[in-house]
């Protein structure tokens, strides 16, 4: 007989990741109940990396439908209500809409570096680094370029903020997500930076006040509206889901990664490594004078964070895995567990990866000053092209820009004593974690959900909406008190080997 479960004690996290739209249901103790997933991919259109609006909607519906089916099979009951819902998505990007909520241009994702000119000008004007991924950089670049759509802009969204608006009619984002749109301090957009931006924006000939375009900010634990009838129908095409379910503030994948790894207190750090990779180090105070290429954002409850972001991580690995799978199919073999097997093969590599180096840039990589995508493998007559060396080279290059950024962070006096790892790079036990430890020169620990994280972290933020008596750190401490984690620390020869690779990797770039 199926277990009877109280649906008003289930909390849904839905995350729009770069390659999957993931959904997860959890109970009040943080235990996963059901999940669903939809695979998608970005594309280039008119010079921009983007996802079609229809793919956003159909992917959300498919992911939720698979979760709903999984739940109903397991518990033999229709999923009709929930204790709460939370929406997460790829942080940064640009979705401008008119007064009726129509997209004015295709979604410009975090992967685009087309706003580099605007980002450089804003960085100088604000006195702190603004990367080309941020919403304000996209908006200002559109103004510099005189794009016609600006005359109709009513609101600008991140992907998470847009979906939240569709489901609730409420225009808002969480603190961490908002801090990747525009500089944030003390729970609100920085007034000094906004005044500077207002002047810069209007100097391009625009007459509107850009401050009006940005969504209000909400701290974690704040109510952010309820599921409307239209939102329920959009999310659940079966018509079973009822309106009125509360939603928490929408957040980006940076926030959900910190929450899913219990890294929201000063001194904690986590690294997410999937299509892109980024390290989040929570600080005791805002370190606004840190070096270039470091974002300054906040946790979902407002603590200062320095973020080191690289655009290209596992994309090259995934592409080669797909190619090897084609070879396996062509020869009548199987590609079952190919990802894990290729990661494990890398551990047989020569210490110097056979003197091979690669640059798996599907898009530009600002951290190492690469302005456009390129795919390149370098070697010489002495190189040893074995499968082990080839895969070790891919893994090292996948995190080399991150390692370079972290070394700059260390030079600023910021120390990282231990790092939580999550994302596809850590899916194969020990392999990715050990290499990341060598790159960061710090112990790396992974939890059982290391290959996931985002949707679970969003579900926890949804659950936190009903835990108002606790601070966010206290709430997470209760959730993770008995969690199991595996910690690895690269030995000195492994660290030295990575340093050797990084020096060879950086030589033609920096």
Domain boundaries, given as residue ranges, for the chain = 7-235, 262-452+469-510
Residues 248, 11 contacting (CB under 8 angstroms): no
3-state secondary structure of 18: coil
CATH topology of domain 262-452+469-510: Nucleotidyltransferase; domain 5 (3.30.420)
pLDDT for 17 equals 92
3-class secondary structure, 422: strand
Beta strands in 90-205 (DSSP E): 95-97, 155-157, 173-174, 184-185, 188-189
Provide the whole-model pTM.
0.90
Please give the pLDDT value at position 452.
54
DSSP 212: G
Give the right CATH number for 7-235 from 3.40.50.300, 3.30.450.40, 3.30.420.40, 3.40.50.1820: 3.30.420.40
Which of 21, 28, 19 lies closest to 11, judged by CA? 28
pLDDT at position 94 is 98
pLDDT of residue 371: 83
Q: What are 22-78's pLDDT values in tens digits? A: 999 999 999 999 999 999 999 999 999 999 999 999 999 999 999 999 999 999 999
Task: Measure the CA–CA gap between 353 and 387, rounded to whole angstroms.
Answer: 10
Spatial distance between the Cα atoms of 44 and 149, rounded to a whole number of angstroms: 20
Equal fold, 7-235 vs 262-452+469-510:
yes
Alpha-carbon dihedral angle through residues 204, 205, 211, 215, given to the nearest 10 degrees: -90
Alpha-carbon span 176 to 157, nearest angstrom:
14
Spell out, as residue ranges, where the chain has pLDDT lower than 70: 1-2, 288-293, 448-453
């Amino acid at each position: 007989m199926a277990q009877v479960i109280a649906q008003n004690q289930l909390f849904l996290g839905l995350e729009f990741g770069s390659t999957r739209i993931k959904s997860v249901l959890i109970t009040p103790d943080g235990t996963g109940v059901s999940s669903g997933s939809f695979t998608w991919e970005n594309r280039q259109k008119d010079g921009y990396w983007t996802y079609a609006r229809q793919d956003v909607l159909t992917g959300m519906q498919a992911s939720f439908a698979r979760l709903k089916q999984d739940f109903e099979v397991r518990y033999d009951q229709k999923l009709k209500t929930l204790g709460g819902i939370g929406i997460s998505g790829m942080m940064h990007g640009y979705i401008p809409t008119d007064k009726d909520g129509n997209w004015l241009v295709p979604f410009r994702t975090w992967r685009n570096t087309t706003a580099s000119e605007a980002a450089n000008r804003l960085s100088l004007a604000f006195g702190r680094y603004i990367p080309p991924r941020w919403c304000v950089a996209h908006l200002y670049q559109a103004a510099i370029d005189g794009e016609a759509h600006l005359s109709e802009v009513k609101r600008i969204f991140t992907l998470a903020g847009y979906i939240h608006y569709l489901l609730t009619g409420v225009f808002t984002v969480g603190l961490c997500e908002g801090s990747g749109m525009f500089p944030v301090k003390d729970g609100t957009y920085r007034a000094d930076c906004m005044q500077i931006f207002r002047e810069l924006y209007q100097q391009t000939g625009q007459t509107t006040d850009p401050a009006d375009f940005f969504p209000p900010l909400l701290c974690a634990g704040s109510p952010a509206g309820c599921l409307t009838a239209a939102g329920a129908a959009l999310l659940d095409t079966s018509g079973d889901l009822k309106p009125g379910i509360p939603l928490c503030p929408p957040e980006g994948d940076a926030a959900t990664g910190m929450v899913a790894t219990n890294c929201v207190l000063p001194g904690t750090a986590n690294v997410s490594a999937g299509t892109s990779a980024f390290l989040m180090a929570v600080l005791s105070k805002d370190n606004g004078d840190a070096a270039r290429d470091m974002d300054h954002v906040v946790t979902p409850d407002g603590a200062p964070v320095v973020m080191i972001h690289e655009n290209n991580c596992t994309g090259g690995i995934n592409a080669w895995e797909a190619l090897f799978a084609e070879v396996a199919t062509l020869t009548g073999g199987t590609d079952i567990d190919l990802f894990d097997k290729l990661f494990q093969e890398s551990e047989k590599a020569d210490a110097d990866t056979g003197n091979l180096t690669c640059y798996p840039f599907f898009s530009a990589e600002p951290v190492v000053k690469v302005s456009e995508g390129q795919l390149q493998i370098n070697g010489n007559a002495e190189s040893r092209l074995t499968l082990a060396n080839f895969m070790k080279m891919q893994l090292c290059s996948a995190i080399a820009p991150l390692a370079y950024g972290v070394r700059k962070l260390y030079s600023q006096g910021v120390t990282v004593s231990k790092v939580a790892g999550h994302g596809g790079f850590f899916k194969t036990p020990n392999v990715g974690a050990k290499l990341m430890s060598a790159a960061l020169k710090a112990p790396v620990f992974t939890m059982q959900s290391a290959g996931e994280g985002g949707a679970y972290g969003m579900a926890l933020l949804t659950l936190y909406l009903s835990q108002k008596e606790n601070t966010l750190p206290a709430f997470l401490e209760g959730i993770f008190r008995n969690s199991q984690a595996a910690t690895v620390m690269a030995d000195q020869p492994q660290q030295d080997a990575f340093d050797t690779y990084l020096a060879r990797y950086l030589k033609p770039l920096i």
